[in-house]
Structure 1
């Protein structure tokens, strides 16, 4: 009898441990995404809610806890949205009240964004008002989750609300989306409309128009259309800003297309001084890997580049390909470029705290020393006079011999 009772006690203990372990495991899963505190209000809200709402909330909670502390997978996001897209405003508010810890966990943050997007589809003003309150006000993405569906559904209403009630930041957010929408719906009149109806949308219109031009493979037709839109505006500042944005759209793109755009800009008659800036910047990009062509173009009358800009380009060249640059300077009687580059690089080292024992000075000494030798060969008096102004240790660097391979 005693043995039987002992076995029964052991079985009960084992079952108790197993049950506790199962509880602990489930508890860890629930805690991973956070569990809302149970209050009288939450119990009453759940008891009074329609069955369809409680079922949807339970399904979302199950998906949320599967994700835990991780980002939901695309499939999980799709499953969540299939539930949320059927929510009413009351359903959205009820589930927001069920999510603990606000936006502190990835799964919760993703659901909150979806819930506000759905809320904005039905009641954008209410969603905006709630989204700008704690704990959501600290989120940078929350206003956009409201504004995007709002502008898509009722752009004029969004602008009216922003003018009457919006803060500067809210006007900017709404303006970004309004500008994007205007440019897509009515590109020819978008800038004029933005300026007249909602000035905060002007920058977004400019960006969208230049992006659309780029998306159309930078075609001549798309650029001419953009130039035509600009020519019809009476605001020179807006025209300049749009051309500026167009320049940047070619920064990492097809440089040959950019040169074609320069020519078309000239033909449009829009702001010759900006066209000239565009031409110079494009040419710099095109000739980035062709330093000699770039150098010769910068020295041409067409370039209008200053002497400082020419020396700067030469300095970049001599640091990457010293033999080519030095030979070019001698051939084109530009020893003054050599001299200025030697001075710039030497003074830069002095300002950086150069000392004779610096192990990192080898490459600098090699490149600068070779330039100095070329300068001294063509202008010995000027080079020696400048050398005499340097600290003794640095004079020794320039007076030391170089071997055939250009090292000490």
Structure 2
């Protein structure tokens, strides 16, 4: 178990809410937000009493050597959690003693979790000293340790952690300070978290508004509607971010309703080249291609031919037999078949299929292309023959399945 992940988990579950920071924001706003909240029950002064516990009186060296011997591969989470129970009672002096046992400057790829635990515990007692030491380590060795320090700092003294982040914005960014703040705010109700996030940096707002929207999309219809109405009080950038996350999350389970009500939401794509509405339809088509295609034909203005063909092509790739059965009896089967044959042929010429697909996938695509050419030829024989005569002989022979490609 990676201790960094354990540390973040401890941070998130042990705290409820938080202020955050924003490089460049007026400090009065952020500090006022913090001052309005209760301090965590566990303070640095309270944590220091852990030194009175029995394990704190034992030799840190002996304890860590025992845990390392019991978990030489650093892959036993039970031993590591037991070790943390001892380390969390260490004094600052024991943390320094323990770092001599665990080492700090080893190859990052072989680093054990014990040093991270010690830095986390040390930061609960003296975060300034722990951070200073962590940052003195060579680049490539200090990131995880400094992140453990910042996690503990936020957990136990967020006001001081906020000031450090304000003074070291670039380092705070590298240590995922914004992500930590977002996680802490999201432990509160969404409306409270979003209101506080508006005072913070863009990355924290991105995390909070995005996650809040995602959760709302999975909620009840009444809760979704209330969330949608609440977005009106936020700035356009934050509102659009939450709205995009909500529509994507909601569309994962109820795509038809989302797509049919699309114009009600007031969503504006930041990049019109990749419309979110098309993405929701595409994902629906991957899950339920027959239903998605039927909907595009019920409401033809909702999706164009490229979107329909994309859904069908993905269906051919995932379940060619079912896709073929769906297409066979349709009046426009020849049009679908022609478009698919041409698209597969274009991909073959460009080399995209051969570069990205296994031999089995390539063979499946070739078989699908032959099958759809045969359907096209039955529905529109003249058009199919003219197209086949216009491509190279090798491709034409492969598409026809080895028959003579000339006419």
Q: Could you tell me the TM-score, scaled by structure 1's length?
A: 0.68
Q: Deviations over 1:56-97 (max 9, x none)?
A: 223324324413631163443244333322323233223323
**Structure-2 change in CA distance of 1:241 and 1:138 (3 Å):** farther
Q: Would the alpha carbon gap of residues 302 and 158 (structure 1) be closer, same or farther in structure 2, given more than 3 Å must change?
A: farther
Shift of 1:112: 0.9
Whether the aligned pair in 1 keeps the contact of 2:320 and 2:368 (CA below 8 Å) is: no
Asked whether the equivalents of residues 120 and 152 of structure 2 are also in contact (C-alpha less than 8 Å), the reply is yes
The whole-number CA distance in structure 1 between the counterparts of 2:353 and 2:201 is 56
Report which structure shows greater RCO (CA 8 Å, sep ≥6).
2
What residue is the counterpart of 1:315 in the other structure?
Answer: 313
1:315-341 Cα shifts (integer Å, max 9, x gaps):
333453357547636633352222111
Following superposition, the deviation at residue 104 of structure 1 comes to 4.4
Provide Cα deviations, 1:217-246, integer angstroms capped at 9, x if missing partner.
62335434533442210x211112122233
Name the structure 2 match of 1:157. 160
**1:328 and 2:324 matched:** no
CA distance in 2, matches of 1:87, 1:400: 74
Q: Which has the larger radius of gyration?
A: 1
Q: 1:155 to 1:207 in 2, by over 3 A?
A: farther
Could you say which residue in structure 2 is the equivalent of 1:297? 295
- Give the aligned partner of residue 201 of structure 1: 204
Partners of 1:366 and 1:78 in 2: how far apart? 54
Which of 81, 86, 89 in structure 2 is aligned with 1:86?
Answer: 89
Tell me, in whole angstroms, the C-alpha distance in 2 between the residues paired with 1:101 and 1:171: 19
1:185 corresponds to: 188
- Asked whether the equivalents of residues 70 and 107 of structure 1 are also in contact (C-alpha less than 8 Å), the reply is no
Inter-partner Cα distance in structure 2 for 1:189 and 1:293: 39
Output one character per residue of 1:25-73: Cα deviation in whole Å (capped at 9) or x when no partner.
Answer: xxxxxxxxxxxxxxxxxxxxxxxxxxx9884223324324413631163
CA distance in 1, matches of 2:101, 2:398: 74
User: In 2, distance between residues paired with 1:72 and 1:398?
Assistant: 53
Q: CA deviation at 1:262?
A: 6.9
Name the residue aligned to 1:167. 170
Cα 1:194–1:97, aligned 2, differ >3 Å: closer, same or farther?
same
How far apart, CA to CA, are the structure 2 residues paired with 1:191 and 1:264? 25
> Who is 2:61 aligned against?
58
Closer, same or farther: CA 136–114 of 1 in aligned 2, 3 Å: farther
Distance in 2 (CA, whole Å) between partners of 1:248 and 1:142 is: 36
In the comparison of the two structures, how many residue pairs are matched? 341
Distance 1:139 1:286 in 2: 44
Distance 1:372 1:162 in 2: 63
Say whether 1:117 aligns with 2:123: no
Q: Distance in 2 between matches of 1:224 and 1:347?
A: 45
Unaligned runs of 5+ residues in structure 2 are 1-54
Equivalent in the alignment of 1:236: 236
- 1:317-396 equivalences under 5 Å are 317-319=315-317, 320-321=319-320, 325=324, 328=327, 331-352=330-351, 363-396=364-397
Deviations 1:310-369 (A, max 9, x none): 2222333345335754763663335222211111112333444999xxx97764444322
Answer yes or no: is 1:145 the counterpart of 2:141. no
After TM superposition, the score normalised by the length of structure 2 is: 0.68
Corresponding residue of 1:405? none
Q: Could you tell me how far apart the structure 2 residues matched to 1:192 and 1:354 are?
A: 48
In structure 2, relative to structure 1, the CA distance for the partners of 1:197 and 1:148 (3 Å cut) is same
Give the SS at the match of 1:151.
helix
TM-superposition CA deviations, 1:357-403 (whole Å, max 9, x none): xx97764444322322222233222222111112223333455689x
Deviation at 1:161, TM superposition (A): 1.7
Task: After superposition, give the CA deviation of every residue in 1:122-147 in whole Å (9 maximum; x if it has no partner).
Answer: 22233222222215853543333122
Partner residue of 1:30? none
